[in-house]
Amino acid sequence: MADPTRAAKLADRIKEIIARRLDKGIRDPRLGFVTITDVRMTGDLQHASVFYTVYGTEEERADSAAALKAATGMLRTEVGRNITARTTPSLEFILDAVPENAARIQSLLEEARQRDEEARALARTAQYAGEPDPYVKPREQVDDED
């Protein structure tokens, strides 16, 4: 098991290398506007999971995923040339769900705001279900002096 700080540094380095290579361009026309968001290494530094996002439609995401899968060997070679490790880790490209999750959270927050406003509106016009003062009061004594 490698040192976690070394794994984090290697992951950052791999992220930079792949992002720089994608910025230079790959000759695959299917590749869209791809952003590398994160890289996670296994404890033995043999495998790197590369998370990415793609700007565009579902079809463009699928095309970009196919282009990245086809370019994995070339990108691994590029990583191997630019890192100082005994072995070059294998690369796995995973579509990052952060944008979809953020949109879902945003819609849930908006729904909660609407429900809170409805509850506030109901509270402004609400009335007590029973008597306004539900507490029992001591009985008044009646004078029976006739």
pLDDT tens-digit readout, 63-113:
888 988 998 999 999 999 998 888 899 999 998 887 778 889 999 999 999
76 located within any domain: yes
- Is the pLDDT confidence value at 16 over 90? yes
Give the pLDDT band of residue 145 (cuts 50, 70, 90): low
pTM passes above 0.75? no
Distance CA 140, CA 87 (A): 93
Quick check: is 108 in a domain?
no
Sheet holding 33-41, edge to edge: 33-41, 47-55, 90-95
- What is the model's pLDDT at position 49? 93
Residue 49 belongs to a domain with what CATH number?
A: 3.30.300.20
Indicate the number of domains in the chain: 1
- What is the percentage of the chain residues whose pLDDT exceeds 90? 32
List of long-range contacts for 112-121, beta carbons under 8 Å, 24+ apart: none
Q: Which pLDDT score, from 0 to 100, does residue 1 have?
A: 64
Residue 143 within a domain:
no
When pLDDT is averaged across residues 15-29 and rounded to a whole number, the result is: 86
Q: Note down the domain range covering 32.
A: 4-100
The verdict on residue 127 lying in a domain is no
User: What are the residues whose beta carbons fall under 8 Å from the beta carbon of 33, sequence distance 6 or more?
Assistant: 54, 55, 56
In a domain, 117, yes or no: no
> Kindly report the CA angle at 42 between 39 and 45, in degrees rounded to 5?
95
Express as a percent the part of the chain with pLDDT over 70. 94
The answer to the question of residue 33 being in a domain is yes
130 in any annotated domain: no
Q: How confident is the model at residue 57 (pLDDT cuts 50, 70, 90)?
A: confident
Whether 135 maps to a domain, the answer reads no
